[in-house]
Amino acid sequence: MSSLAERHQYIIKKLQNKQYISVVDLCNELKVSSVTIRKDLKLLEDKNLLFKIHGGASLSNPYTVDRSVNEKETLQSAEKSSIGYAAAALVEENDSIIIASGTSVLAFARCLPAKLNLTVITSALNVALELSRNPNIEVIQLGGTLRKSSNSVMGPYSESILKDFFCNKLFLGVDGIDLEFGLTTTNIMEAHLNRQMIRVAQKTIVLTDSTKFGK
């Protein structure tokens, strides 16, 4: 099967059945080179028939979009609650922790035991408000430019404040997590702040539901 039209028809049909196909499998099944397959996938992607991803192609869009925190909070809410309880079990008495922005880390903040004495640094206004009700938790709110879609602050001022601290643990929400590209977010300023948070924390704990995997 070497004609362009036949290969493309085969690729689309296989994708519809499996949702994901690898370049290696297509090379073996169609008896063509990886260069040819990658060109085929590029042509099909240009026609909006699939998405090229590392090592293959998928029908699902691997790229995340910047949604408002109010919209995100309604998505996978049960999973986020379970994630929050599991993460809260990792917090110990007198820990100094950083809580980044996102709905998964907000769920985590709501699950923190009221009896624990903690110091919490956060960029998220909703997290700070949630924890302000607990007399045992000292909350340090970072300053900076407000990102309205996530109700959090970011920018050089937030990053400079963080340089004065060193914490046990960072609880980080992400927009995507991929074995090749690592942890990602849709906003470059937030990405820079998250990078600084990672630098000043002994341990980084990522809180994310399965919809972010491979994105």
% of the chain exceeding 70 in pLDDT: 92
Q: Is residue 25 part of a domain?
A: yes
Placement of tokens 């906003």 in the chain: 187
Q: What are phi and psi of 133, to 5 degrees?
A: -80, -15
d(CA 193, CA 190): 5
d(CA 121, CA 133): 15
Separation of first and last alpha carbons in the chain: 32
CATH number at residue 14: 1.10.10
Q: Is residue 177 part of a domain?
A: yes
Residue 65 is predicted with a pLDDT of: 59
- Same domain as 22, residue 78: no
- Same domain as 197, residue 156: yes
Helix (H, G, I), strand (E, B) or coil at 208: coil
Residue 51 is predicted with a pLDDT of: 84
Residue of 103, 106, 108, 113 whose CA lies nearest to 85: 108
Residue of 44, 90, 35, 116 whose CA lies nearest to 206: 90
Interacting residues of 86 by C-beta distance below 8 A, sequence separation 6+: none
- Same domain as 149, residue 88: yes
> 29-57, pLDDT tens digit by residue?
999 999 999 999 999 988 888 888 778 88
Q: Is residue 64 part of a domain?
A: no
Give the mean model confidence (pLDDT) for residues 186-205: 95
- As given in the structure block, the two tokens for residue 55 are 């090592």
> 83-101, pLDDT tens digit by residue?
999 999 999 999 999 999 9
Q: Is residue 35 part of a domain?
A: yes
- Same domain as 167, residue 76: yes
Q: Is residue 93 part of a domain?
A: yes
Q: Is residue 179 part of a domain?
A: yes
Mean pLDDT, rounded, of the chain: 88
% of the chain exceeding 90 in pLDDT: 58
Domain with 16 in it: 4-58
- Same domain as 79, residue 125: yes
d(CA 55, CA 41): 11
Please check whether residue 106 is in contact with residue 207, taking contact to mean a CB–CB distance below 8 angstroms.
no
Helix (H, G, I), strand (E, B) or coil at 81: helix
Name the band, by pLDDT with cuts 50, 70 and 90, for residue 120.
very high
Residue 148 CB-density burial (10 A; 0-12 exposed, 13-18 middle, 19+ buried): exposed
Residue 145 is predicted with a pLDDT of: 92
Give yes or no for residue 74 having a pLDDT over 70: no
- Same domain as 119, residue 22: no
CATH number at residue 179: 3.40.50.1360
Last residue of a domain, one of 58, 85, 104: 58
- Write down the pTM of the prediction: 0.69
How many domains would you assign to the chain?
Answer: 2
- Same domain as 91, residue 187: yes
